[in-house]
Structure 1
Amino acid sequence: MKASAFVLLLSGLALAAHAQPNTAQGELLRRGELTGARPSAKAQMQAATRPANHASDPAQQHLLQTDVNLAQTRAEELPNLYERFIATTREERRTWNDQQWDVAGQVLARLNQRYEQVRTELPLEDRLLVRSFQGEFHTLRGARNVKEKLD
C-alpha cells in the first residue's frame, strides 16, 4: 500500500511541476538550474572564484563517469554528459544523504553553466533532451524529500 501511494505521489509530483511552473520553478530559475535560465549574480561570482578546471573534482568524475574539463567541453558532448550524470543519479540515489544530493546539485549546476554558454550550438532535439535530464534530477530529488516525509 505504501509503495503504491509513493508511486502515485511521485507521478503527481511530475505532473504538478508541469502544470504549475510558479514558485518552485521560479526558485530554480533564480538559481540558474533550469535550461535557459540566466545565472544569478551570486552564481556568477562563485563561478569566477572557482578554478576553471573542474576535471580534478572526484565527485564530478564519479557522477559524469569521466574526467572532463567542463569549461572546455564542446556543445555536442553535453547531452552525453547529462545522460551519464542522470544514469549515475538513478543508480545511486536511494543511498544518498543530503550532502551527496547537494554535491550532485553542484555538479549539475556546473553542467548547466557550460550548457548555458553553448546551448545555441545544439539542435532543438538535444536541448529538449538536456531539459528532460535536468527535470528528472529535480524530480528524483523531490521524490526523495517526499519519501522522507512519508516515512
Structure 2
Amino acid sequence: MKTAHWGLAAGLLALAGCDSTPRERQEIVRQETRQLDTAAQHAGHTLRRLGRQTARFDSANHARRAVPLDPKKQRVMDQQLLGGYADQVPGLTVATIAGAYGELLRATRVRRTGWDARDWDYAQATYRRLNDQLARVRLDLPARDELRIRAWQAEFTTLRAQRTAKDLQAATKK
C-alpha cells in the first residue's frame, strides 16, 4: 500500500509539471488508479480472509462454551487455584475473601502458561463464584481490602484477555 502512495505522489508531481501533456498526465492517472485498485482488492481479500477466520474462531469458542463444565474437573481447578479456600467459597467472609483472591491470582500467574481455552473456562467459573461471594460481603469490606481485590480482578481479566488475544491472533495467521 505504501508503494501505491509513493507512486501517487510521484504521479501528482508529474501532473503538476508544466512540461507534461494532457495525454501524459492522463496515462499517469490511469496507472495510479490501477495501482490503487490493486491495493484495494488485496486489502479486501485480506479482510474477507480475516473475517472468515474470526468467525470460525468465534464459532469454536461458542461451541466450547456450550458444553457444560465437568463438576469433578471444576473441583480440581478450584483446589489448584484457591488451595485451602476451595471448599470455603460460599462461606468466605470479610476477613477471608481477600486471601482467596490473592491465592487465585498467585496460582493463575503460575499456571496460566500451560492452560488451554477450556482450562480458562474452568478458571473463569472459579473467578465468577468468588465474585458472587464478594457481592454478598462487599458492603462490610474495608476499603483497603476492596481496593486490593479490585486490582486482582483487573489482573485476572487482563490475563484472560491476553490469552484470548493470543488465540485470536493464532487463528487469523493461517
TM-score (norm 1): 0.59
Partner of residue 78, structure 1: 97
Give the deviation of 1:148 after TM superposition.
2.6
Flag as ranges the 4+ runs of structure 1 deviating above 3 A: none
Tell me, yes or no, if structure 1 residue 143 matches structure 2 residue 165: no
Higher RCO (CA < 8 A, seq sep 6+): 1
Query: Matches of residues 111-150 of structure 1 in structure 2 within 5 Å?
Result: 111-150=130-169
Point out the structure with max Rg over C-alpha: 2
- Percent identical residues: 30
Residue 114 of structure 2 is aligned with which of 79, 82, 95? Answer: 95
Note the residue ranges of structure 1 that are not aligned, 5 or more in a row. Answer: 1-55
Residue 61 of structure 1 is aligned with which of 66, 79, 93? Answer: 79
Note the residue ranges of structure 2 that are not aligned, 5 or more in a row. Answer: 1-73
Give the deviation of 1:115 after TM superposition.
0.5
Q: Residue 57 of structure 1 aligns to a residue in which SS?
A: helix
Distance in 2 between the 1:75 and 1:142 partners?
28
- Residue 144 of structure 1 aligns with an amino acid whose one-letter code is R
- Residue 77 of structure 2 aligns with an amino acid whose one-letter code is A
Give the deviation of 1:68 after TM superposition.
2.6
Q: Residue 148 of structure 1 aligns to a residue in which SS?
A: helix
Give the deviation of 1:65 after TM superposition.
1.4
Give the deviation of 1:150 after TM superposition.
3.4
Query: Matches of residues 34-45 of structure 1 in structure 2 within 5 Å?
Result: none
- Residue 59 of structure 1 aligns with an amino acid whose one-letter code is M
Q: Residue 76 of structure 1 aligns to a residue in which SS?
A: coil
Output one character per residue of 1:12-37: Cα deviation in whole Å (capped at 9) or x when no partner.
xxxxxxxxxxxxxxxxxxxxxxxxxx
Choose between structure 1 and 2: higher helix proportion: 2
TM-score (norm 2): 0.52
Output one character per residue of 1:99-128: Cα deviation in whole Å (capped at 9) or x when no partner.
100000000011001100001111111101
